[in-house]
Amino acid sequence: MWALCLGALIIIGITHWVYRWRNPSCNGKLPPGSMGLPLLGETLQFFSPNTSSDIPPFIKQRMKRYGQIFKTNLVGRPVVISTDPDLNYFIFQQEGQVFQSWYPDTFTEIFGRQNVGSLHGFMYKYLKNMVLNLFGPESLKRMISEVEQTACATLQKWSCQNSVELKESTARMIFDLTAKKLVSYDSTKSSENLRDNFVAFIQGLISFPLDVPGTAYHKCLQGRKRAMKMLKNILQERRGMHKKEQTDFFDHVIEELKKEGTILTEAIALDLMFVLLFASFETTSLALTFSIKLLSDHPLALKQLQEEHEAILKRREDPNSGVTWKEYKSMTFTFQVINETVRLANIVPGIFRKALREINFKGYTIPKGWAVMVCPPAVHLNPAKYHDPLAFNPWRWEGVEKNGASKHFMAFGGGMRFCVGTDFTKVQMAIFLHSLVTKCRWRPIKGGNIVRTPGLQFPNGFHVQIMEKDQRK
């Protein structure tokens, strides 16, 4: 009898728990949607791979069923997903007041608990200003020749090979340049390979968060641990040196750490270096590979790009001089290609925030503490804003200035957390494309197919043959 009563109580308890999971309490009207299975939510569906260039099926199906704003549960956390331009704009504009940056615990484990994306208020602004000293326009003006030299040397090396896998090769090129500027790291002189740890890290970054040996997520965490150990060793070694002038970003960080009353800690500094190294090369190499794939498939766009850069060479008094800042700023069609590439690439599939208080928007209530995910692909592939949204059409950006974010373009984030590395990314892409189309031609060999999980990947790479142009013609 007691066993029956106990069994009934357990069943009632589980039933109540499942009901509460599927029907969270709220003072108003929650957005429509499903919370999925207890504990798992809809995490598996969200991470499910797909080969579509369209809005991710997970999002598109729910938009069709529930509308532009809906609820779900990811990694055990209730989330409101927004594909509504008005709500997205409101979220970005109310940073620090109504919303604050937030990412799932798994992301925090990967990027570090003191990473710049998890910091708020004065501390975030302080770090942002530090980074702008490295990646701001004045620094980039001085860096542009080094970016061009790196691109030219890399292309010359590639032209001696029968086949180059672009995603891996551009990532290595950008990582070496960025690591040099950040920590004076030289892969040819180091006994340990810093980038290998980031490769392991990337493979598990957007995967199901199961920390068990053999899983991609576990390898990701191990890669982070090794990379952080290397960065800490570099920091400790650098602290023992007496340098008269700053030569890289780490020197600037060390000077900040030495200041009396500084708010910068070693943990924050190391997490910052880790995030900068990752963000600077992984996203840019994906965008650059994708742009070359798109140009390969669209000869008219490639022809106009070549004409723009050949015209730059013809206007020079000295044809062998490097790209100037004025020339860089004149690359109008190049920037149209970059904008269209990042619009279609949707490298960042979701931007997360957390509600600091209860919010009412368009008749729906977002409870305090809930996560909100802005969905850039739904904005960038909206047929109401972009005609034939899946088509690569750089000309759609003609006469459109896009130096920041808007309701309909958020490839580099938005609001006060607009990506501080945006200008650095554009410089690298534009200068590489300039070097590529003026000095080389290329022929796709194999690969180029994409998979989203939900982030962009090239599972089979994109293999091309690079050939130097005959400069006498």
Do the Cβ atoms of 426 and 410 come closer than 8 Å? no
Give CA–CA dist 102/117, Å, rounded: 7
Q: How many CA atoms lie within 13 A of 283 on its CB side?
A: 21
Cis peptide bond prior to 454, omega within 30° of 0:
yes
According to DSSP, the residues that pair with 373 across neighbouring strands are 81, 352
Give CA–CA dist 459/449, Å, rounded: 7
Q: Alpha carbon 304 to chain centroid distance?
A: 28
- Residue 348 CB-density burial (10 A; 0-12 exposed, 13-18 middle, 19+ buried): buried
Q: Give the residue carrying structure tokens 């952080």.
A: 228
> Three-state DSSP class for 160?
coil
Say which amino acid occupies 314.
Answer: K
Do the Cβ atoms of 413 and 103 come closer than 8 Å? no
> Three-state DSSP class for 419?
coil
**Is residue 375 annotated as involved in ligand binding?**
no
Do the Cβ atoms of 224 and 110 come closer than 8 Å? yes
Q: Which contiguous run of DSSP H or E holds residue 458? A: none
376's tokens: 């850039």
Annotated binding-site positions: 419
Binding site for heme: which residues? Answer: 419
